[in-house]
Amino acid sequence: MKLLFVLLLLIPLHVCALEATLHNLSSLSQAGQQKITLWINQSIEKTQNTLGPLKQTQLPIYLKPRYVAFEPVPWAKVKRTNPDGLELHIDRYASLNAFTRDWTLYHELSHLYLPLLPYTGFWLSEGFASYMQNVIMRDNQVITQAEFVQRLNAGFERARLQTKTKQQPLNKLSADMWRQRAQQRVYWSGAAYFVEVDLLLRQQNKTVAQVIASYQLCCRPARSTAKQFISSLDKLSKSNVFSLLYNKYNKRTDFPTITKEQLNLL
């Protein structure tokens, strides 16, 4: 009986070398357990298709099922433990299709490819995850190229609007983001940074996803300063693209111009 209980609580998933352990799965119905297991399994696979394998071999996922929710995943966060894990608040009644089309899990899984950066560097972490959630969904045919362009452009528009009232240098605003509710500018300025990096890298037949895939396997520490992180990416890409644009973005007070035509090149 006790063994059965433990088995129900901890159902491991084997995806490549990564073993995800779903905590609290047994609080769902049998069908719910199958749906959530399949969704998480498939999302890890899609993320790894784009960003390569995660270095960590264990991924604890803490499920918080809700009875009432307005979206499939109303809240989620990375838990920087050893190994890193995720906390997912989920609508227990959402369909597999609704979960698959929700961006949150792709966003949180993307975070795991980067080290924990200081608050002033949150624009890099959130920007990377906000850009990558869309790249992963597009690469894996969850959304079309047109939707990919539309979603990024919509994020940039929201950030442009917020930049009118939140004009601090990006690194300072990142450190005070929660108090000032400046998520739109911080997240999407960071996404714009990675879009610009990707556009330049592509001229050298490289991509952000490829560089991060190598970084994950060779050199990703648990924590890093923004400068160390950027300098590792420069080395791996054999370019100065990451630092060049970092210096442009870190203290910027405006929002960049990025056109839909540029986004369509990605």
Query: In the block, which residue shows the tokens 């894996």?
Result: 140
Give min distance, CB of 84 to Zn ion, in A.
Answer: 13
- β-bridge partners, 65: 90
By Cβ distance, which residue is nearest to Zn ion? 129
CB of 108 to Zn ion, least distance (A): 7
Q: Smallest distance, Å, CB 107 to Zn ion?
A: 5
Give the Cα separation of 51 and 47 in Å (integer).
Answer: 6
Q: What minimum distance in Å lies between the beta carbon of 157 and Zn ion?
A: 20
Q: Which residues of 144-176 are buried (b: 16+ CB within 10 A; e: fewer)?
A: eeeebbebbeebbeebbebbeebeeebbebbbe
Query: Which helix (DSSP H) or strand (DSSP E) does residue 137 occupy?
Result: helix 122-139
Q: Which residues have C-beta within 8 Å of that of residue 164, sequence separation ≥ 6? A: none
> Which residue lies nearer to Zn ion by CB, 126 or 198?
126
Tell me whether residue 73 or residue 129 sits nearer to Zn ion (CB atom): 129
Q: Is 152 or 241 the residue whose CB approaches Zn ion more closely?
A: 152
Q: How far is the CB of 104 from Zn ion (least distance, A)?
A: 9
Instruction: Between 187 and 206, name the residue whose CB sits nearer to Zn ion.
Output: 187
Binding site for Zn ion (CB under 5 A): 126, 129
Shortest distance, position 106 Cβ to Zn ion, whole Å: 11
* Strands (DSSP E) found in the chain: 11-15, 18-23, 58-66, 75-79, 85-91
Judged by beta carbon, residue 91 or residue 108, the one nearer Zn ion is 108
Closer residue to Zn ion (CB): 195 or 241:
195
Q: How far is the CB of 135 from Zn ion (least distance, A)?
A: 15
Angle ∠(231,153,132) on CA atoms, nearest 5: 40
Indicate the residue among 86 and 241 with the shorter CB distance to Zn ion: 86
CA torsion 211-144-76-230 (nearest 10°) is: 20
Q: How many CB atoms lie within 10 A of CB 61?
A: 22
Q: Is 177 exposed, middle or buried (0-12, 13-18, 19+ CB in 10 A)?
A: buried
Instruction: Say if CB 187 and CB 170 are below 8 A apart.
Output: no
Alpha-carbon gap, residue 186 to 261, rounded angstroms: 23
